[in-house]
């Protein structure tokens, strides 16, 4: 009976163990799966001609001749978009047109001063030009097409006037004709509504296709190029084709957000065909191609991480991690060796052990504030270093943070060494120090390396301790240990709490997080391989 119960218990325990492993694996896949999928889009995606422009301009990467041909092909389709918008804009951008009439009038006055005209002729021309300007402004301000036609016809009757031939005033007539044509299919009572929607459309087209040819180059790098990725272009296209409006379907009920077709909003106007044209020809305007952007892991990023990669962040993370381990490994092993091999069980040692256990549970932000107060403001300046956040201060802070973990892991590793090993060494006449260095430490090294693995994972992924002590969102590559550096963990934090840019480039945010996970896995893999080699060597294999 007892054997039957034991077999049943063993089977139940085996089933529970297997179920636990499956559940843990499932949770890990649920958490990491979507993250890896989205993060991989930072490297594997469909780029556009705008991406290839950016790569050539910022990193001198690509074929200029091929890109020139692509630009010529895309511009032929984009030209229709710009012309359609400009043509429609003439009928609703009344403020801009009125400003232009004032500029024409002032320019005419300057020209007349340098022409050989009598004072009487000057006064006559200026008076007539003023009347044409006022008539045009009346037409521009009016919503009555009859009033507009009367004033436009009055202006156009002076089109052949000899006084205006070859002067700036000739633009009065061009402006009047263009305005008259542009309002033919426009409901002038909706002009303000059209103007608001047109501003949104122009902004979306700007984000989609980049600056209009001939316009000044924007100061920000992110504004110099259109949609560099096809997935981003698809999102912008959806915003272009559909607007969101809040309406109240029933009295007393909350407003409901609905999607309204922009083509229907501009139905009957010259702008209506634009939306179908862009939808049907977007592929020809951007020329998407499948790409593997492996340079993501070496390229620098632009402000806001809008373009570029995570090369400096990887370098900074490695610097902080390896330097922190350089400090924490000897301190942790020496402290553990003292507590196990040398210290007696008295009140002072008990307090030290309790302090170590307590420090292991202190929030990391506390270590960050400690690093700022001690290392940045006191310790480093004490030896002549600069009183500013830097790599050295951040790595020392991370070392203090993970020191309790290293001490505890090393203590357990040293205690696990069989006592007979030590007794045999001491019996052969070796000193206590020699016994520790030649027998205890090599035997405990696999366990100590386990502590290194745990410390690596925590050091590489921490953000709060380096927030005040050495991390920056953007900056040049560090030239010494007294310079701050970019890191993957702080970069992810910066994007997450940043402005709207994070919403525009989610692939960069996920890509940075996945890169950090992969970097930690690689560091852990190296430590695990090293531990396995040490273990095999100890077994004589």
The least confident of 188-192, 273-277, 278-282, 472-476 is 188-192
Coil, helix or strand for 332? helix
Find the length of the chain.
541
Higher per-residue pLDDT: 189 or 527: 527
Q: What is the mean pLDDT of residues 411-420?
A: 86
Question: Based on the domain organization, do 229 and 370 belong to the same domain?
Answer: no
488 within a domain of the structure (yes/no):
yes
Residue after which a domain boundary falls, among 154, 182, 210: 182
Question: Based on the domain organization, do 56 and 146 belong to the same domain?
Answer: no
Question: Based on the domain organization, do 118 and 242 belong to the same domain?
Answer: no
Q: What is the pLDDT of residues 379-404, one digit of tens each?
A: 999 988 899 999 999 999 999 999 99
Question: Based on the domain organization, do 194 and 178 belong to the same domain?
Answer: no
**Which token pair is 68?**
């020139």
What pLDDT is stored for residue 540 in this prediction? 63
Q: What is the mean pLDDT of residues 419-448?
A: 83
What pLDDT is stored for residue 436 in this prediction? 83
Higher per-residue pLDDT: 136 or 90: 136
Question: Based on the domain organization, do 76 and 99 belong to the same domain?
Answer: no
DSSP state of 177: H
At residue 353, does pLDDT exceed 80? yes
Q: What is the pLDDT of residues 11-21, one digit of tens each?
A: 878 888 888 88
423 within a domain of the structure (yes/no):
yes
What residues have CB less than 8 Å from 229, skipping those under 6 apart? Answer: 45, 46, 47, 48, 51, 507
Q: Which of 72, 76, 71 is nearest to 226 (CA)?
A: 71
303 within a domain of the structure (yes/no):
no
Q: How many domains does the chain have?
A: 4
The least confident of 193-202, 237-246, 501-510 is 501-510
CA distance 374 to 380: 8
Question: Based on the domain organization, do 101 and 145 belong to the same domain?
Answer: yes
* Contact indicator for 516, 492 with CB cutoff of 8 Å: yes
Coil, helix or strand for 251? coil
Q: At what angle do helices 311-337 and 391-415 cross, to 10 degrees?
A: 40
Q: What is the mean pLDDT of residues 90-99?
A: 77
Question: Based on the domain organization, do 340 and 441 belong to the same domain?
Answer: yes
Residue after which a domain boundary falls, among 264, 292, 320: 292
CA distance 377 to 371: 9
Q: CA-based Rg of the chain, rounded to a whole angstrom?
A: 36
214 within a domain of the structure (yes/no):
yes
Q: What is the pLDDT of residues 174-223, one digit of tens each?
A: 888 877 777 777 777 777 777 788 889 999 999 999 998 888 888 888 88
301 within a domain of the structure (yes/no):
no
Q: What is the mean pLDDT of residues 286-313?
A: 88
Other beta carbons within 10 angstroms of residue 199's beta carbon come to 11
% the chain with pLDDT above 90:
25
* Contact indicator for 491, 474 with CB cutoff of 8 Å: no
CA distance 457 to 452: 9
Residue after which a domain boundary falls, among 143, 160, 182: 182
pTM of the model: 0.80
Phi, psi of 244, rounded to the nearest 5 degrees: -110, 130
CA distance 121 to 108: 13
Q: What is the pLDDT of residues 11-47, one digit of tens each?
A: 878 888 888 888 888 887 888 888 888 888 889 999 9
CA distance 355 to 267: 74
Q: What is the pLDDT of residues 488-497, one digit of tens each?
A: 988 888 887 7
What pLDDT is stored for residue 130 in this prediction? 86
What pLDDT is stored for residue 221 in this prediction? 82
Question: Based on the domain organization, do 36 and 78 belong to the same domain?
Answer: no
Question: Based on the domain organization, do 151 and 26 belong to the same domain?
Answer: no
Q: Which residues span the domain enclosing 240? A: 47-82+188-292
% the chain with pLDDT above 70:
96
Question: Based on the domain organization, do 420 and 513 belong to the same domain?
Answer: yes
The least confident of 1-5, 76-80, 82-86 is 1-5
302 within a domain of the structure (yes/no):
no
* Contact indicator for 309, 299 with CB cutoff of 8 Å: yes
What pLDDT is stored for residue 177 in this prediction? 81
What pLDDT is stored for residue 346 in this prediction? 81
**Which token pair is 8?**
């049943």
Question: Based on the domain organization, do 325 and 439 belong to the same domain?
Answer: yes
Question: Based on the domain organization, do 152 and 27 belong to the same domain?
Answer: no
What residues have CB less than 8 Å from 497, skipping those under 6 apart? Answer: none
At residue 1, does pLDDT exceed 70? no
What pLDDT is stored for residue 531 in this prediction? 82
Q: What is the CATH number of the domain that holds 376?
A: 1.10.3720.10
């Amino acid at each position: 009976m007892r054997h039957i119960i034991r077999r049943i218990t063993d089977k139940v325990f085996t089933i529970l163990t297997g179920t636990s492993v499956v559940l843990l694996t499932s949770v890990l896949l649920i958490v990491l799966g979507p993250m890896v999928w989205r993060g991989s889009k930072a490297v594997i995606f469909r780029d556009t001609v705008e991406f290839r422009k950016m790569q050539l301009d910022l990193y001198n990467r690509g074929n200029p001749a091929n890109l020139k041909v692509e630009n010529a092909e895309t511009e032929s389709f984009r030209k229709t978009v710009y012309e359609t918008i400009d043509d429609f804009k003439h009928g609703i951008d009344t403020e801009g047109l009125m400003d232009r009439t004032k500029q024409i009038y002032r320019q005419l006055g300057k020209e007349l001063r340098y022409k050989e005209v009598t004072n009487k002729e000057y006064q006559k021309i200026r008076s007539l030009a003023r009347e044409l300007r006022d008539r045009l402004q009346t037409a521009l301000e009016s919503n009555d097409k009859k009033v507009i036609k009367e004033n436009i016809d009055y202006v156009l009757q002076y089109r052949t006037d000899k006084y205006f031939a070859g002067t700036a005033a000739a633009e009065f007539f061009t402006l009047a004709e263009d305005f008259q044509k542009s309002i033919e299919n426009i409901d002038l009572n909706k002009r303000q509504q059209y103007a608001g929607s047109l501003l949104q459309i122009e902004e979306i087209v700007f984000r989609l296709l980049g600056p209009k040819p001939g316009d000044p180059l924007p100061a920000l790098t992110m504004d110099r190029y259109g949609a560099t990725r096809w997935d981003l272009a698809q999102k912008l296209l959806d915003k272009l084709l559909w607007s969101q409006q809040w309406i109240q379907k029933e009295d007393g009920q909350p407003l409901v957000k609905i999607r309204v077709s922009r083509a229907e909003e501009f139905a009957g106007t010259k702008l209506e065909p634009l939306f179908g044209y862009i939808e049907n020809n977007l592929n020809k305007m951007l020329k998407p191609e499948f790409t593997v952007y492996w340079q993501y892991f070496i390229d620098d990023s632009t402000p806001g991480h809008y373009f570029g990669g995570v090369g400096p962040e990887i370098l900074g993370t490695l610097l902080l991690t390896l330097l922190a381990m350089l400090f924490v490994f000897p301190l942790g092993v020496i402290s553990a060796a003292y507590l196990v091999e040398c210290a007696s069980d008295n009140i002072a040692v008990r307090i030290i052990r309790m302090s170590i256990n307590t420090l292991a549970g202190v929030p990391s932000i506390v270590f960050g504030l400690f690093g700022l107060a001690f290392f940045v403001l006191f310790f480093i300046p004490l030896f002549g270093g600069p009183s500013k956040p830097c790599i050295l201060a951040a790595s020392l802070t991370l070392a203090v943070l993970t020191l309790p973990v290293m001490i505890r892991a090393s203590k357990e590793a040293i205690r696990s060494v069989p006592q007979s090993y030590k007794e045999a060494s001491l019996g052969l006449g070796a000193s206590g120090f020699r016994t520790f260095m030649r027998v205890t430490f090599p035997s405990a090294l696999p366990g100590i390396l386990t502590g290194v693995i745990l410390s690596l994972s925590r050091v590489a992924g921490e953000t709060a301790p380096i927030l005040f002590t050495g991390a920056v969102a953007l900056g040049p590559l560090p030239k010494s240990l007294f310079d701050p550096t970019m890191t993957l963990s702080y970069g992810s934090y910066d994007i997450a709490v940043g402005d709207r840019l994070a919403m525009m480039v989610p692939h960069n945010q996920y890509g940075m997080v996945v890169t950090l996970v992969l970097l930690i896995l690689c560091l852990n893999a190296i430590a695990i391989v090293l531990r396995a080699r040490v273990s095999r060597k100890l077994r004589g294999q």
